[in-house]
Structure 1
Amino acid sequence: MAGEMPWPEVPIGNKNYTDAAVVIIGGGISGMCMAIDLLKRNKCRNFIVLEKSAGLGGTWNDNKYPGCCCDVLSQLYSFSFAQNPDWTREYPGQEEILAYLQRVAQEYQLLQHFRFNTEVVKARWDQEAHKWVVHVKTAPGSKEAEYHQDYEIKTDFLVSAVGQLNVPQWPEIQGIENFNGKKMHSARWDWSYDVTDKKIALVGNEIAKAAKHVTVFQRTPNWVVPRLDAPVSATWRNIYRYVPGVLARKRAAIMDFRESTYGFIESADSNMSKLFMSMSKEMLQRQLSDRPDLQGKLIPKYQLGCKRIIISDDYFPALGQDNVTLETRPIKSIEGTSVKVASDDDEIVSARDDYDLLVCATGFKTVDFMHPIQLVCKDDRHIGDVWKDGAKAYYGITVEDMPNFGMLYGPNTNLGHNSIILMIEAQSRYISGLIKPVLEARKKGKVLSLTPKKERLVEYNAQLQKELQNSTFNDPNCQSWYKNEKGIITNNWSRTVVEYQKMVQDVSFEDYVVDGSGKHEMEKGKTIHVGRVKEESTVGDKTLLIGVVSTAALLGGWVLRNSRYLRSTGMR
């Protein structure tokens, strides 16, 4: 029961089940970050997190294919406010990341706000009420569906945390739907299927490790740089946990390094770009020195950065295994258990006729940011109309004609050089600043809506696209998930993380059209400072040394006080 807590500190219960101050769509890293910021910054517990899966974690709950892991060093791939000293590897795997997110959710008591097996079908802005009406349906066969198969929730503010990597993209190959063997997308891996001694056709650039034979169908090669992954010893984990400043110092050092690599995006002629290409070629020649037939096929003919760089120590060796074939001829069709390709003289031939398993590692519907949710904005305008020329948003967060709406990991906020969590935290702070006056208005019995001014949005995106046109993302020699069909880069940010963080550390309401009965109480020119997390180096080596000496002194004092006990137990 809610007790005597004031709104919006009162959690949503049975009686107000369909009325929320804030609705968050998506229960992954973005949705969790937003939920925690609501708790910390707005003292708001009157929110719901709608998650279509049966568990939290987003992409780290959905993607479970063999070898699934992160390409950002573990100490930086965590929330700044929930740093993890216990990562067991330098680069975390999917299961360990998911376990971390589950611990954070428990620590911040988020689970009571989640509604699992609940998918958002449609959201419509009610101009008269100044609220969003969110239509949801529950998964057939789930416990939730026994209560209600679908219902509507009214909310003052709607947040999209669905991200860019959630809806699998199946390749358009003639006959793929009639493949006679087992078929799966890498983002929906079926661990009940035993791949041992199976013949596998893999469309895309990922490798299944346990198989009789694997054919990798490669459209274009990727630039690959060393990962240098390794276990994190128990000793180091204890140092990160107990010695003040060490974990923060390492996290900052990783942040500094990753920010310094931005040069390969800014220019194909940068020293960083040349360094990474040199590293990739050297590793290729060293690891496949006995396979000159593969080396030519694995060197990209486009600028480094146009596609996402693969960070791996074992990618090339996997392709060089005796049971792996690299197939670069284009796929034409699939017939039965056979994959047909076009030969050099344009004849259609079989790559192989007896595949047991077809794996499509072909990514996600990345340019359809809200797919398949229907969004109806002001004046019954659909999001498809707003984004007919490509998805765009103000700071990648707020959208034209969509009042009281914010996006995390939205258009042009993806990175090619650093941890996306750094961007998500900045966006979450900004959205919290937008939500604050909306909640204050409702507490006074009034309504308030905020919509980005079109001229500000147009000006921002024009400058953004101008910068992106000069980046390596825009290399005409390759196609990537960063671009839409018109060649517009809708996914990526054009500068460094720190520049983005500084840009959104203040919420200026001069950038927004303010409407509703509470608008007259908004100060003219009002700005809310939400600040930013300074992930770059702030803990110097001197401070770190003081922390180490202090810890050593504490440990030394403890040893002296307990020397008799240590001798009796044989530890000295």
Structure 2
Amino acid sequence: MDPSPIPLVSYGRTTNRADVLIIGAGISGLTTAIEMIRKGNGRNFIIVEKGNQVGGTWNDQRYPGCCCDVWSHLYSLSFEPNPNWTREYPGQEEILDYLISVAHKYQLYKHIRFSTSVEEVRWDAPSNTWKTKITRLGAKDAEFGEHYTITSNFLVSGVGQLNVPKYPDIQGVDSFKGKSMHSARWDWDYDLRGKRIGIIGNGATAAQIIPEVAKVCERLTVFQRTPNWVIPRDDRPISSTQQAIYKYVPFVRRRYRAALMDFREAFFDVVFDSESEIHQMFKGAAVQHMETQLPGEKYKDMREKLMPKYDMGCKRVIITDDYFPTFTRENVVLETSAIKRITEKGVEVEGEKEHEFDLLIYATGFKTTQFMYPIKIYGTNGKSLDEIWASGASAYLGMTIPSLPNFSMLYGPNTNLGHNSIILMIEAQAMYINALITKIKTARDSGHTLNISPKQSVVDAYNADVQRRLAQSAFADPNCNSWYKNEKGLITNNWSEAVIPYQKKTSEIRWEEFEVGGSAAGMVRGKGRERWGRVVEETQVSNAVVLMGLVSTAAAAVAAGVWVRGGFGMVRR
């Protein structure tokens, strides 16, 4: 045995060389890394994260009232259930705690480099590797230097769709002399008490902020461009007794999760098919919800202003029980006149009316259609992702892109949902991506090279089918704009079917759909299909049976000592 207390490392070994580089330590990045470990692909991966903690959007967004609008027991990894959720709908803090605990369990922190930004990525054809230029955002630069390069055999993007704040394109947006903040960059040191506050944006985020801010400020003015469909939330605490049952009787927890998934899959036609019976049923429920919370002649004008004039599902449906009641407060004003410009003192609307504020809140979302922004990516022959996506973002199954070998992304183009938990999609993607990683790693371990990218014809045919389906959906309603569409009106964000069809499509790889190269190309060329199956969590019944059986499902849960919580909901972006 070597008596030296100092580990000896051979010259030439580098900590900036890995099998896989994962960009982002949110749910997507963490799940991909965990799947590498679970699949036996090892721990030779690096995760780079721009923020200071894991969690992605759940670490970035800490505004008042921030919470998820998917049931907690469905907004969690299938292989890492959490029996200790305290509410039916989890808050930001509880979700972040859950993700931190998962990262600790799989010992991921030693692989993560925080305060680290990716500036540019280039495919190096001679070595069949990706060269990723890194910038350290913190003051400490002794570890790798302020700028350095990571070389990887495979590159995974887990940056998602909700990471770069979007500010409104309004004249004078930089002229306001008071305090301003974006919802994703909340300043908790600023005291809201007694302040005159304006909030621009009235979507899902604003609907969570508005009731909380209204409780403490002197006056709150809500600037509404387009009203939203709102349905009940019915959030409730989960008792310690229920938590104990979920922990010690896992069958009950699994059955509850299955019931939640069944319900959400049945909700697909609500947001997709405006002619369906269930769409009309939920639309009626939304109208009743508004009339119940804003009753009578007194609030007739308010109901008219808040009533959408487009199909439910065209924009993201909001689930809340305290949004409408906030407009009955004397200190809350709903402003529906168009904004002309932002001034030094506040906001001027049509009719030469100016609202003066101490604080302006921008609840205006993210740059959702600019996937990977602001990272610059260059694939084969130096072709940039901007060139590839000149007509709009698209990817095969939302994950792989022509001219970008050995690259995959999670929560990419046309993989967002309007009805179910995005984690169900992310898990399926992580398994698919790891099947690709396995091939690359096997080739490398045997001293060979391999590069894999989808054929352009396959991507074109796939995207044409997705867009054909989306054109028939509520998402395509011309009477509204949403973050699902790019500047040209192309729906680049949403998936065109329910979750289960996507899981089935991504539970196998058809190698004839890919271009392959490198000395180990024969490993996959002409090999047909490779299947691994999917995680089956739903009960084996049709959507129609599920809807008709909700009452009996609730009764069965009660018999087991667990109340199945009712309510409606949409996916947190």
TM normalised by structure 2 equals 0.90
Counterpart Cα distance in 2 of 1:244 and 1:19: 41
Matched, 1:398 2:404: no
What's the CA shift for 1:481? 0.4
- Counterpart in 2 of 1:414? 416
Matched, 1:23 2:21: yes
- Counterpart in 2 of 1:71? 69
Matched, 1:349 2:353: yes
Query: Any conservation in 2 of the 1:23–1:155 contact (CA below 8 Å)?
Result: yes
* Local SS of the residue matching 1:282: helix
1:323 is aligned, of 331, 334, 341, to 331
Higher relative contact order (CA 8 A, sep 6+): 2
- Counterpart in 1 of 2:314? 306
Query: Any conservation in 2 of the 1:117–1:144 contact (CA below 8 Å)?
Result: no
1:36 is aligned, of 30, 34, 37, to 34
What's the CA shift for 1:81? 0.5
Matched, 1:252 2:258: yes
* Local SS of the residue matching 2:250: coil
- For residues 38-70 of structure 1, give each alpha carbon's deviation from its aligned partner in whole angstroms, at most 9, with x where no partner exists: 101133100011100011100000000000000
Counterpart mapping for 1:364-379 below 5 A? 364-379=366-381
- The one-letter code matched in structure 2 to 1:326 is L
- Counterpart in 2 of 1:91? 89
Counterpart Cα distance in 2 of 1:371 and 1:520: 35
- The one-letter code matched in structure 1 to 2:512 is E
- The one-letter code matched in structure 2 to 1:155 is S
What's the CA shift for 1:145? 6.4
2:52 is aligned, of 54, 63, 75, to 54
Counterpart mapping for 1:267-306 below 5 A? 267-289=273-295, 290-306=298-314
- Counterpart in 2 of 1:218? 224
- For residues 429-472 of structure 1, give each alpha carbon's deviation from its aligned partner in whole angstroms, at most 9, with x where no partner exists: 00000111100010011110001011111111111100000010
Counterpart Cα distance in 1 of 2:114 and 2:282: 42
Counterpart Cα distance in 1 of 2:75 and 2:468: 30
2:388 is aligned, of 386, 389, 404, to 386
- Counterpart in 2 of 1:454? 456
What's the CA shift for 1:332? 1.0
Query: Any conservation in 2 of the 1:139–1:145 contact (CA below 8 Å)?
Result: no
- Counterpart in 2 of 1:173? 170
- Alpha carbons of structure 1 residues 521 and 417: separation in structure 2 relative to 1, 3 Å: closer
What's the CA shift for 1:480? 0.4
- The one-letter code matched in structure 1 to 2:128 is H
* Local SS of the residue matching 1:398: coil
Counterpart mapping for 1:106-255 below 5 A? 106-141=104-139, 143-144=140-141, 147-205=144-202, 206=206, 207=210, 208-209=213-214, 210-255=216-261
Query: Any conservation in 2 of the 1:252–1:538 contact (CA below 8 Å)?
Result: no
Counterpart Cα distance in 2 of 1:374 and 1:302: 37
Counterpart Cα distance in 2 of 1:522 and 1:363: 42
- Counterpart in 2 of 1:434? 436
Query: Any conservation in 2 of the 1:394–1:461 contact (CA below 8 Å)?
Result: yes
* Local SS of the residue matching 1:176: coil
What's the CA shift for 1:198? 0.8
Counterpart Cα distance in 2 of 1:414 and 1:426: 13
Structure 2 unmatched ranges of 5 or more = 1-10, 547-551, 561-573
TM normalised by structure 1 equals 0.90
Range that drifts further, 334-343 or 473-482: 334-343
- Alpha carbons of structure 1 residues 65 and 90: separation in structure 2 relative to 1, 3 Å: same
Larger radius of gyration: 1
Counterpart Cα distance in 2 of 1:291 and 1:31: 47
- For residues 463-508 of structure 1, give each alpha carbon's deviation from its aligned partner in whole angstroms, at most 9, with x where no partner exists: 1100000010000000100001111100000101000000110012
- Counterpart in 1 of 2:470? 468
* Local SS of the residue matching 2:526: coil
- Root-mean-square deviation (CA), in Å? 2.0
- Alpha carbons of structure 1 residues 269 and 241: separation in structure 2 relative to 1, 3 Å: same
Query: Any conservation in 2 of the 1:202–1:360 contact (CA below 8 Å)?
Result: yes
- Alpha carbons of structure 1 residues 14 and 429: separation in structure 2 relative to 1, 3 Å: farther
What's the CA shift for 1:520? 2.6
- For residues 357-410 of structure 1, give each alpha carbon's deviation from its aligned partner in whole angstroms, at most 9, with x where no partner exists: 000000000000010000001111110000000000001110111100001000
2:505 is aligned, of 503, 510, 521, to 503
Range that drifts further, 237-246 or 518-527: 518-527
- Counterpart in 2 of 1:487? 489
What's the CA shift for 1:524? 2.1
